[in-house]
Structure 1
Amino acid sequence: MRPAAAAAASVLDQAASSATNILVLVIAARVSTAPGFAAFSMVYLTFTVLLGLNMAYVGQAVVLERDAARLGTACRSAVTFTACAAATAAVLLAAGGALAGGRTGHAFAALGLVLPLVLVQDGLRYAFSALRTPARALAADTLRLACVVPALLIQPPHAGPARLVAVWGLSALPALLLGLALLRPLIRGAGVHLAPYLRRGHLGARFLVEFAVGNASSQLAVLGLGLFANPLTVGALRGATTLFGPLNVLFNSVNAFAPPVLSRLGGRRRTVRAAAALGLALAATALAWAAVLYALPDRAGRGLLGATWNAAAALLPASGTQYAVMGLGTCALVTLRVLSPRATLSVQVVFSLLSVVLMLGGYGLGGAAGAAWGLAVGSALKAVAAWTRVARTPADAPADEAADDATGDDAQRSAAPRS
């Protein structure tokens, strides 16, 4: 496959995946009550964390496989390990949800029943990426989008969260079967080696740590608010985040494609200037999008998010501010990956945990709105810290060499924007 065609297929596949996530949440919000969507959001947030953990531990390791002779075995092993890990997590979720009972417990039990389907289906894209056949991933993910949207749209008003979770999960079956059929001829005759995933020092462990502190920490904190404080807070935060879904696509694209572009610019000054201009453009886009959402009539907003609109609309100023500073912070972290790739982990650890503290503190002071403003302040502090680290990089930093060094540590880290 030609490089240009492969790049186009990768972008389209990412767009299809992002559109699926956005539409699932939008449709679930429209057909649910506010408490029902809050329960669905907690389950979907749990799936998002599990998906990110698998992406970090399995997906990022397999896409870095460079030995052509071992590529088929690596891909088959990655899919098999994902299936085994998903089945283990599914048993725990199903048992825990059944014991907890109630609307939320049943929704988690439903997630346990469908988790292997959705996790393996999504994980196939990393095998296709490693095998340099992104068009096959695009075909499977497009089918996934084509199945899940009508399946959710035909659900009756006020459908329960457990039912929505089950329908969402089972609708992945056609895409899973297509993906496995497309993968089979590429890995025919390959073996399965699961031992490397269980050994100390597995490459994915480093990616797992960075994901845990950079993304999962805040997501788990939001989930904790829903489980131990007010579930409606999760629905409001997820509703507001869903409205900014198109910006997530932009941030993901910057994470994926900006490093090689910036590394080709040569000197540090040109790299920093280009990244700063891109960051300002993303921030301006986020503010403009927030203004559009804020100006939406309530009728149009309820058409998007149903009963969750009022709670989500109250968070738009905070969420818009957060996405604006996230645009600046994303470009700063991308610049560090080019100039000084080892500097990103410390920034992620310290300021992601600080964001969690600020979110929880904000919730204690002002409920959901306080939590949203806490996340915005945390993202702003992370952006300031990242740009400060950029400013302190040596003036003669060899951007191209640093970028080469980053490929082993930071390549393919684009599953979600840093917040």
Structure 2
Amino acid sequence: MPGAGTGLAVLASVADQAVSAFTNIVVLVVAARLSSAAAFSVFSMVYMVFTVLLGLNVSYVGQALVLERGSARVRAACRSAVVFTAGAATVVGAGMAGGLAFVGGGTARGLAVLGLVLPVVLTQDGLRYCFSALRLPHCALAADTVRLLVVVPALAAQPQGAGAARLVAVWGVSALPALVVGGALLWPRVKDAPVDVGGYLRRGHLGRRFVVEFGVANAAGQLAVIGLGLFAAPLAVGALRGATTLFGPMNVLFNSATAFGPPLLGRVRGTDDKVRATAVLGIALAWTAVAWTVVLMLLPDHVGRRLLGDTWASSAALLPASGSQYAGIALGTSALLTLRVLRPRATLPIQVVFSLASVVFLLAGYRLDGVRGAAWGLCLGSALKAGALWRRITSVRRAPAPATDRAEADVRAEPSAGPR
């Protein structure tokens, strides 16, 4: 019953992303309720730095991993990915902790603590992509459920007025049980597979291209927001982050498509069928974003304050812009998923041009109309990028794949060397 199996895999993957996104929402909501608006801004900046580091790891390791095909190759790639992620996170985290331990200021202290817990949180999150490549999303769901069940009471037990550094430490340490559970579920499936950490350092590793795309597509905008907080208006970071938190359910769907879409889309026969499937997905996600925006705008003020505390007022003013942005992101995510399967190397030029344009729009919007203008600037950038990606899909459908892309596809589709 392959159809039933695929349906269950989709449900498990969406449920896993829902649990993961809900965990992130709880972390931010609890931090907002325990902190003043100023303190939450500091925590938001630290958490955004983690988001950038997480995105780099997902791009370099995770996105290349889910494109692997063939049982033996997938198992070896999964084991290598875990070892590489743990080692790289330890090196980066130690550098952060050592370099910022004696620097004054709440932000520096929070980042130093983030460095200490970085190996735990990055490795735990990275297991999700291993389970995606192995087509075992229910294992990811189990580990992430443990994460949720541990982090909620741990953060809720913190006193009112807890500092950002303390909250970051509790959040990071609470990932240990989930890491143990995920590792225990993964180990029997990869214990006999070879480890090739050096593959991540070789020239031509596809993750390098995805990192460049992330750097210009996601990190550039996030770093621009961080810079906005450091050099202009710290409260703007809290407002933008609060608005993003409110759209957590949409992030669930986007992350599900990104993490689990390539293996599932690879089963669809024919280029036209793949494009139609993702086009329908993009339209459905865009309308979902619009509907969710309406729901948020109709929330009573006292409910919003229960969610975000003092940050609610500034975040609520951004809902029209943020909702429009998420509709654009929905169309762009589905287009990006299509190109990742059809032509992995086709997305970089578009990502570079339109992501840098988004940063320009963000900063120009802030100068024209403060944080509300910045939110509309991000919306404009997302809409233009989505349009460019779908236009690229049209040209890809008409042209044959380059030899490099065909060779990569053949390598990733290498026949299985044994049972999974």
If the TM-score is normalised by the length of the shorter chain, which range does it land in?
0.7 to 0.9
Cα shift readout 1:368-404 (whole Å, capped 9, x = no counterpart): 112111101111222232344345556x5689xxx98
Alignment partners' CA distance in 2, 1:90 and 1:272: 40
Residues 253 and 393 of structure 1: is their aligned pair in 2 closer, same or farther, counting only changes over 3 Å?
A: same
Partner AA of 2:331 in structure 1? L
Secondary structure (helix, strand or coil) at the match of 2:205 reads coil
Query: What's the CA shift for 1:227?
Result: 2.4
Question: Corresponding residue for 1:375?
Answer: 378
Query: What's the CA shift for 1:200?
Result: 1.9
Alignment partners' CA distance in 1, 2:106 and 2:50: 17
Cα shift readout 1:21-42 (whole Å, capped 9, x = no counterpart): 2221122112211111111111
Question: Corresponding residue for 1:233?
Answer: 236
Partner AA of 1:163 in structure 2? R
1:331-370 matches, cutoff 5 A: 331-336=334-339, 342-370=345-373
1:34 aligns with 2:33: no
Alignment partners' CA distance in 2, 1:295 and 1:10: 30
| 1:91 counterpart (90, 94, 99) | 94
Partner AA of 1:301 in structure 2? G
Question: Corresponding residue for 1:293?
Answer: 296
Alignment partners' CA distance in 1, 2:346 and 2:235: 37
Question: Corresponding residue for 1:417?
Answer: none
Deviates more, 1:298-307 or 1:205-214: 205-214
Secondary structure (helix, strand or coil) at the match of 1:100 reads coil
Deviates more, 1:53-62 or 1:242-251: 53-62
Alignment partners' CA distance in 2, 1:306 and 1:155: 16
Query: What's the CA shift for 1:265?
Result: 7.7
Partner AA of 2:213 in structure 1? E
% identity of equivalent residues: 62
Alignment partners' CA distance in 2, 1:225 and 1:105: 17
Question: Corresponding residue for 1:328?
Answer: 331
Question: Corresponding residue for 2:179?
Answer: 176
Q: Which runs of 5+ in 2 are unaligned?
A: 414-420
Query: What's the CA shift for 1:353?
Result: 1.0
Secondary structure (helix, strand or coil) at the match of 2:102 reads helix
Q: Which runs of 5+ in 1 are unaligned?
A: 412-419
Alignment partners' CA distance in 1, 2:60 and 2:125: 14
Query: What's the CA shift for 1:356?
Result: 0.8
Tell me, yes or no, if the aligned pair for 1:362 and 1:373 is still in contact at 8 Å: yes
Tell me, yes or no, if the aligned pair for 1:240 and 1:316 is still in contact at 8 Å: yes
The two structures have a TM-score, normalised by structure 1, of 0.86
Deviates more, 1:379-388 or 1:115-124: 379-388
1:187-202 matches, cutoff 5 A: 187-202=190-205
Question: Corresponding residue for 2:418?
Answer: none
Alignment partners' CA distance in 2, 1:106 and 1:337: 38
Alignment partners' CA distance in 2, 1:112 and 1:103: 14
Residues 111 and 341 of structure 1: is their aligned pair in 2 closer, same or farther, counting only changes over 3 Å?
A: closer
RMSD of aligned C-alpha atoms? 3.2
Tell me, yes or no, if the aligned pair for 1:235 and 1:308 is still in contact at 8 Å: yes
Partner AA of 2:374 in structure 1? A
1:155 aligns with 2:158: yes
Question: Corresponding residue for 1:47?
Answer: 50
Alignment partners' CA distance in 1, 2:190 and 2:349: 38
Query: What's the CA shift for 1:280?
Result: 3.9
